[in-house]
Structure formats: structure tokens, C-alpha cells
Amino acid sequence: MTFLTAEMPSYTYAVKGEKLLRSGGCECMIARKEKTSSESCGYLLKISGKCRDALKILDRYAVPYKVISDGGA
């Protein structure tokens, strides 16, 4: 189940975020945006499982993101 979906500015940051989160014990996967947003096409980081630290991890490593759905992670 996806708890949090973050829009990533590029594939590079999506995969960097994915690796950092996985090494921090957060389950996640990269997905292509299903719907083209007003900004552009791109990639999402879907974070599953309870991972309250996910955003802190991304912030700590200066990985840019935009939360587009927060399921309570």
C-alpha cells in the first residue's frame, strides 16, 4: 500500500531518493507519472509501508521532491 507519493524533478533524483530510502529501511518504488501534471511529465517515488522518516531522509540529503499524496507516512 502506498502511504506517500512524491513527485521527483527528474529520474536522477527519483533513483537517488529510492536508494537513500531503501538504505534507510523504507520500501519504495519509482513510477512514471500516470497523469501529466500542469508542470510536465516525470517520475514519482511511491513510498509504501510506514516510514515516518522518509521525508527527513530526503531532506537530509537535499533531494528535491514535492509531496502529492500523503497517506499518513
Partner 1 sequence: MINFDNAATTFPKPAAVRRAVSVAMRKFGGNSGRGGHELAMLTSAALYSARETAAEFFGAQPENVIFTMNCTHALNMAIKGIMADGGHMIISSMEHNSSARPAAALALKNKISLSAAEVFPENERTVESFRSLIRKDTKAVVCTIAGNVTGQLLPFREIGQLCREHGICFIADGAQACGIIDVKMSDGINILCTSGHKGLYGITGTGMLITDGKFPITPIIQGGTGSGSLSLFQPDILPDSLESGTPNIIGAMSVKAGIEFVRSIGTDKIFRHESALCQKFITLIEKNDDIIVYRSPSAEYVPIVSFNIRGMPSEKTAALLADKGFCLRAGFHCAALAHASLGTENGTVRYAPSVFSTENDTVSLVLQLTKLKNY
Q: Where on the chain is the footprint of partner 1 (CB under 8 A)?
A: 9-13, 15-16, 30-33, 38-43, 64
Give the Cβ contact number of residue 73 at 10 Å. 20
Cβ neighbours of 28 (radius 10 Å): 26
Q: Which is nearer to partner 1, 37 or 52 (CB)?
A: 37
CA gap 71, 50 in Å, rounded = 10
- Whose Cβ is closer to partner 1: residue 9's or residue 49's? 9
Rounded to a whole number of angstroms, the minimum distance from the CB of residue 25 to partner 1 is 20
Q: Quick one: 20 or 50, whose CB is closer to partner 1? A: 20
